[in-house]
Amino acid sequence: MVVADITREQVFEWLREVPDPEIPVLSITDLGIVRDVVIGDDVRVALSPTYSGCPATEMIEQSVISALQKHGVVDITIERSLSPPWTTDWISDEGREKLLAYGIAPPEKGGGKRALLDGVRVIACPQCASTDTELISEFGSTACKASYRCVACREPFEYFKCI
């Protein structure tokens, strides 16, 4: 496909189909890590990693290249956009709903990095919505999640930490 025939909106639509490798219910656009798409001599996609040590960063970049190649795009440049740093505030409303439906408590909107420092979090259970929950471990199945348990319904669940 000739780059001149591609629109920015098309590329964003294609990227909505690229899942996050650690939480596949979310797309990379749901996460808000696609910072920009510029069409010029090539298709340039700016991505912000969720944090500097994220092990999925290179896999996401390769998935973006593969998704665009699937649509016939040959000239692709991936840029890592580190400033401003990604925050959980960038997760879309649709992404937050997907997390909840998947059984992961989404991060508090507007909490961002502030929520890491205040030490007090009220996390609602994604199963029964009770706020009578307790932290089991700051570390869940991935570095961006913590393990919780609901005291009301006794179900364990993960919380997507505010970053």
What is the model's pLDDT at position 55?
A: 86
Task: Tell whether 103 is covered by a domain.
Answer: yes
Average pLDDT over residues 60-68: 97
Token pair, residue 120, equals 């007090």
Q: Work out the mean pLDDT of the chain and round it to a whole number.
A: 90
Domain count, the chain: 2
Question: Looking at 23, 56, 80, which one is the last position of a domain?
Answer: 80
Q: Are residues 63 and 121 in the same domain?
A: no
| Residue 115 placed within a domain | yes
How far, in Å, are 1, 53, 66, 105 from residue 7 at the CA level? 12, 32, 18, 35
Are residues 100 and 72 part of one domain?
no
Residue in the block written with tokens 């069409």: 39
Same domain, 76 and 99: no
Q: 27 pLDDT exceeds 90?
A: yes
Residue numbers of the domain that contains 150? 93-160
* Residue 31 belongs to domain with CATH number: 3.30.300.130
pTM: 0.84
**pLDDT tens sequence across 94-133:** 999 999 999 999 998 765 555 555 566 789 999 999 999 9
Of 80, 111, 127, the residue at which a domain comes to its end is 80
**Does one domain contain both 72 and 121?**
no
pLDDT (tens digit per residue) in 37-48: 999 999 999 999
Q: What average pLDDT does the segment 54-58 reach?
A: 89
CA-CA-CA-CA torsion sign (116, 94, 156, 21): negative
pLDDT at 2: 61
Are 9 and 34 members of one domain? yes
Residue 58 confidence (pLDDT) above 60: yes
Q: Is residue 87 part of a domain?
A: no
